[in-house]
Amino acid sequence: MDARGALRWWWSTSPHPGAIAVAQLAGEPADLERAIEALCSRSSPAVGAVAWRRFGEIDDGVVARVATGHALVMPHGGPRIRQRLDARMAELGATVLQGAPGADGDYPEAADDLERRMLAALARAASPLAIDLLAAQPARWRAHGAPGAMSARDRRLRRLIDPPRVAIVGPANAGKSTLLNALAGREVAIAHDLPGTTRDAVAARIDFAGLVADVFDTPGAREEMDAIERAAAQLAAHAIERAELVIALTAPGLGWAGDAAPIAPEAGVIRVLNQCDRADADACAEAIDADLAVSAREGQQLDVLVARVRDALVPPADLADPRPWRFDERLG
Ligand SMILES: Nc1nc2c(ncn2[C@@H]2O[C@H](COP(=O)(O)OP(=O)(O)O)[C@@H](O)[C@H]2O)c(=O)[nH]1
Ligand SMILES: [Mg+2]
């Protein structure tokens, strides 16, 4: 993307209420910095850095400076917050665009607007499960007629396009970081038996058997935390509040700790007992309330957890439903 030129502001996420919204700000670096500074009453994060900011009286969230002339601004996903941020950015000299510049691309092969939007969604979709379903939509829309207003199913299926957010919460030493690493298939989080080891909010984009989601590891809040741990805990709280699914993780004897931050009322929760390889796992009190038991370290039952996460975010019935899917809210 050519970030230079007049300051431009647009949303990458749908205007419907969501846990998180992502807006993009692009333009000359000096203009961009001035606008972020005015919005947040603090300097812009350095290039490549991600920081927590207050957006004046409007909201708070994350600013990611992805390039000198390009930043992502991520507030909560309410329509009111969006409107107020649009107004504020216009005040600060940004041109508020409707949709990404050129986001729908040029698809000369598309027969009509429906096919053009389908191809644009296909190009953007994060999840392999989206491919066949999107490809089937033009025919379904023609056979059944355009679907009505955006339904709950339509919104759940949108998770195939924009990765939903999953937070792993639970007491220290439950194995949250070990689980994130096991799911990611690589070391993204530091797993260690010293509490406070997770000093940064860590996330990984993970494919749950066809559904791609962004998974956040969260450090538990502790009594004595240094400044870095407190900042990490704050970012984690933010991730938990915005998660569409929470994996509540524990281990034998650790109990189900009170959550580090409130969970969105519409978020799903899967209660998982970790460390099922231990001899005391079967008889522990936590086993009674767990939806399933896994071993993040030994890999037991992780395939079951992967399928549960996928099915909780995009139920199989939504995928199997032959009715058309309103995959783009701008379609008439
Ligand atoms: N036996 C066993 N130990 C585990 C398992 N998962 C994690 N651990 C150990 O538990 C300790 C804490 O793990 P960590 O992932 O750092 O926990 P966190 O504080 O919740 O992030 C480490 O010593 C891990 O090796 C497991 O499935 N089985
Ligand atoms: Mg950890």
Lowest mean pLDDT among 160-164, 229-233, 312-316: 229-233
C-alpha separations of 20 from 115, 194, 244, 277 in Å: 28, 32, 10, 36
Closest CA to 71 of 92, 88, 54, 50: 50
3-state helix, strand, coil split of the chain in percent (to 5) is 30, 20, 50
**In percent, how much of the chain has pLDDT > 70?**
87
In short, whether 172's Cβ falls inside 6 Å of ligand 1 is: yes
Residue in the block written with tokens 């990984």: 204
Q: What domains sit in the chain, N to C, each tagged with a CATH number? A: 8-96 (3.30.1360.120), 105-160+322-332 (no CATH), 165-313 (3.40.50.300)
Q: Is 90 exceeded by the pLDDT of residue 160?
A: yes
C-alpha span between 191 and 197 (Å, rounded): 7
In short, whether 252's Cβ falls inside 6 Å of ligand 1 is: no
pLDDT at 3: 45
In short, whether 290's Cβ falls inside 6 Å of ligand 1 is: no
Q: Which atom of ligand 1 is nearest to the CA of 181?
A: 15
Lowest mean pLDDT among 208-212, 254-258, 297-301, 320-324: 254-258
List helix spans (H) across the chain: 29-40, 79-91, 113-124, 130-144, 152-158, 176-184, 227-242, 286-289, 302-313, 316-320
Separation of CA 301 and ligand 1 centre (Å): 16
* Ligand number nearest to the C-alpha of 175: 1
Residues contacting residue 61 through CB under 8 Å, at least 6 positions apart: 20, 52, 53, 55, 73, 74, 75, 76, 238
Nearest residue CA, atom 3 of ligand 1?
A: 275
Q: Which pLDDT band, with edges at 50, 70 and 90, does 102 fall under?
A: low
- Calculate mean pLDDT across residues 121-143: 90
Residue among 168, 169, 176, 178 to mutate when testing ligand 1 (max atoms within 8 A of CB):
178
Q: Is 80 exceeded by the pLDDT of residue 31?
A: yes
C-alpha span between 15 and 82 (Å, rounded): 8
> Where is pLDDT greater, at 95 or 233?
95
pLDDT at 68: 86
Whether the full predicted model's pTM is greater than 0.75, yes or no, is no
Joined together, the tokens standing for residue 131 give 């491919």
pLDDT at 106: 54
As a whole number, the mean pLDDT across the chain is 86
How many Cβ atoms are within 10 Å of 292's Cβ, its own excluded? 13
Separation of CA 202 and ligand 1 centre (Å): 16
Nearest residue CA, atom 8 of ligand 1?
A: 175
Q: Which residues surround ligand 2, an ion (CB under 5 A)?
A: 176-177, 198
> Where is pLDDT greater, at 313 or 16?
313
Separation of CA 225 and ligand 1 centre (Å): 21
Burial of 267 (0-12, 13-18, 19+ CB in 10 A): buried
Q: Is 90 exceeded by the pLDDT of residue 159?
A: yes
Closest CA to 309 of 208, 161, 233: 208
Q: Is 80 exceeded by the pLDDT of residue 229?
A: no
Q: Which pLDDT band, with edges at 50, 70 and 90, does 201 fall under?
A: low
Q: Is 80 exceeded by the pLDDT of residue 292?
A: yes
Q: Is 70 exceeded by the pLDDT of residue 18?
A: yes
Nearest residue CA, atom 26 of ligand 1?
A: 275
> Where is pLDDT greater, at 197 or 165?
165
Closest CA to 60 of 78, 45, 42, 74: 74
pLDDT at 178: 94
Transcribe 193-240 into DSSP letters.
SSTT---S-EEEEEEETTEEEEEEE-PPP-SS--HHHHHHHHHHHHHH
Closest CA to 50 of 41, 40, 61: 61
- Calculate mean pLDDT across residues 289-310: 97
Closest CA to 100 of 55, 131, 136, 70: 70
Q: What digits encode the pLDDT tens for the residues 84-95?
A: 999 999 999 998
CA-based torsion, 43, 49, 52, 58: positive or negative: positive
